[in-house]
């Protein structure tokens, strides 16, 4: 079976599982299963992350590594690795050679003789500290509790046949750490009880430990980000962390219909403290309209805009900026860098929209977490917004976050009757097609075919 046929037959689960096989590809397997092109890097992902997140506290180590133990999708590092390999096919003369760090590729073809990048600051490789080790060691330099403050196992040198730079490998590890930290925090916020088919971190270890472990992962990731020594990449990845928080705050409000400034604290509504005026507080641009001010169509359009903005911040921001970062590290020209960003953005939106659709169609066992959780949490995602477009009376349920008895059942029935799931699927397909279009800026290769396969399979995934 050829690559083109695979795109239409492999499910998302099969595609990702193939990528995570722990065997090195044979020449035949690499043609039939392009995901095996990066199977070696994927198989070492968890081990590499473990070497970066260890601490001197056994319980903290246990909580921090908890989600890495379970079988996850690992989509984000997979994107970094495949995209990095695809970018290798761009001829050297079509790249900005001064943007490539010669510490990554010294004495290696096709980059031999590449001048030192002007973006490199202090220190050497991603494995070396920037600050003096005596400072990073802390109070007792004889007890090194921080693996990032001592020499780590060096990353493999650049392999011209594989085409993935050491900094791109480290980028894959960083983005998975950021994503996992967000899962720990999200499960506390959403009061989840399951993740990846077993008790969520907040249930297994308590809310406090889960939050602290998420913070710890972000701290470790931040050090690793700095050691990439590329200002734009540092800026991109640091912004994704802020975006995750911004998106979560948008989700707490839920939609443009929720005009209340009260905070729900365990069932108790508390007003937001009035600002003193010492620090200017900007009101969110989405909060200017209410159902009484405008017509139904305008409200629905505003709600979809809010939903997509929130979705970008919570999911697509990390995918888009990691894709751009991989392109920046490769020395790609501006048009390629922009298309890589757009690819990640469209793929991320497609991914989350499908995730919201699965919340209405999958069982608990299928997705590894409680199904139909969004309505129970009061979240208005694409399926219910499409139903609201046809049934204005649903606006009242959305505005009160489905908290009255029977609201969840009424909303679910409306989604079924208005084909909300199918309309959501079509929306996801549109972003899928855009993402595929973005990939065409890259030369044809097995790695690009693998990215196309992954993009298509997102639409057919069941978990």
Determine the straight-line distance between the first and last CA of the chain, rounded to whole angstroms: 25
Predicted local distance difference test score (pLDDT) of residue 363: 64
Q: Considering the chain, what percentage of its residues have pLDDT values greater than 90?
A: 46
In whole numbers, what is the pLDDT of the chain averaged over residues?
80
pLDDT bracket for residue 120 (50, 70, 90): very low
Contact 352, 379 (CB under 8 A): no
Judged by average pLDDT, the poorest of 104-108, 327-331, 434-438 is 104-108
**CATH architecture of the region 236-272+287-441:** Orthogonal Bundle (1.10)
Residue 46 has pLDDT above 90, yes or no: no
pTM: 0.83
Q: What ranges do the domains of the chain cover?
A: 236-272+287-441
Contact 319, 351 (CB under 8 A): yes
Angle in degrees, CA 463, 225, 348, rounded to 5: 30
Predicted local distance difference test score (pLDDT) of residue 97: 54
Higher pLDDT, 64 or 159: 64
Higher pLDDT, 21 or 276: 276
Judged by average pLDDT, the poorest of 97-106, 225-234, 299-308 is 97-106
- Tokens 């920037």, residue located: 130
pLDDT bracket for residue 147 (50, 70, 90): low
pLDDT bracket for residue 109 (50, 70, 90): very low
Angle between helices 58-69 and 166-189 (to 10 degrees): 100
pLDDT bracket for residue 18 (50, 70, 90): low
Beta bridge mates, 195: 198
Q: For 236-255, how does the pLDDT look when each residue is reduced to its tens digit (9 = 90+)?
A: 999 999 999 999 988 887 66
């Amino acid at each position: 079976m050829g690559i083109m046929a695979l795109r239409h037959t492999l499910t998302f689960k099969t595609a990702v599982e193939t990528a995570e096989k722990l065997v090195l590809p044979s020449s035949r397997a690499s043609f039939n299963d392009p995901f095996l092109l990066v199977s070696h890097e994927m198989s070492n992902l968890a081990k590499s992350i473990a070497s970066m997140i260890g601490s001197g506290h056994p319980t903290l180590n246990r909580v921090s590594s908890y989600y890495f133990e379970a079988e996850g999708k690992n989509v984000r590092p997979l994107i970094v690795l495949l995209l990095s390999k695809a970018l290798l096919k761009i001829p050297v003369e079509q790249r900005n050679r001064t943007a490539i760090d010669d510490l990554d590729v010294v004495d290696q073809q096709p980059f031999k003789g590449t001048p030192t990048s002007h973006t490199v600051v202090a220190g050497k490789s991603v494995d070396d500290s920037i600050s003096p080790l005596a400072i990073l060691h802390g109070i007792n330099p004889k007890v090194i509790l921080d693996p990032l403050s001592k020499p780590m196992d060096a990353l493999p040198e650049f392999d011209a046949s594989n085409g993935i730079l050491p900094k791109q490998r480290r980028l894959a590890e960083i983005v998975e750490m950021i994503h996992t930290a967000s899962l720990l925090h999200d499960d506390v916020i959403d009061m989840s009880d399951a993740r990846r088919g077993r008790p969520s971190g907040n249930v297994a270890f308590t809310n406090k430990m889960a939050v602290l472990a998420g913070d710890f992962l972000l701290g470790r990731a931040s050090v690793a980000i700095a050691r990439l020594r590329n200002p734009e990449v540092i800026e991109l990845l640091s912004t994704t962390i802020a975006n995750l928080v911004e998106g979560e705050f948008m989700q707490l409000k839920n939609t443009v219909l929720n005009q209340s400034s009260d905070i729900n604290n365990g069932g108790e509504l508390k007003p937001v403290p009035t600002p003193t005026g010492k620090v200017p507080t900007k009101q969110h641009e989405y909060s200017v309209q209410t159902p009484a001010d405008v017509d139904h169509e305008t409200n629905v359009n505003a709600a979809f805009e809010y939903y997509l903005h929130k979705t970008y911040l919570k999911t697509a921001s990390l995918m888009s900026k990691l894709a751009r970062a991989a392109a920046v590290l490769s020395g790609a020209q501006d048009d390629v860098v922009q298309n890589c960003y757009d690819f990640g953005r469209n793929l991320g939106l497609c991914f989350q929209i499908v995730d919201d659709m699965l919340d209405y169609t999958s069982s608990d066992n299928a997705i590894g977490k409680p199904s139909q959780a969004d309505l129970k949490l009061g979240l208005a995602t694409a399926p219910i917004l499409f139903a609201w477009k046809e049934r204005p009376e649903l606006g009242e349920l959305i505005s009160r976050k489905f908290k009255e008895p029977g609201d969840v059942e009424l909303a679910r029935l409306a989604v079924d009757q208005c084909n909300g799931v199918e309309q959501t699927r079509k929306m996801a397909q549109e972003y899928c097609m855009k993402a595929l279009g973005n990939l065409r800026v890259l030369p044809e290769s097995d790695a690009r075919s693998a990215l196309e396969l992954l993009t298509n399979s997102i639409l057919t995934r069941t978990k």
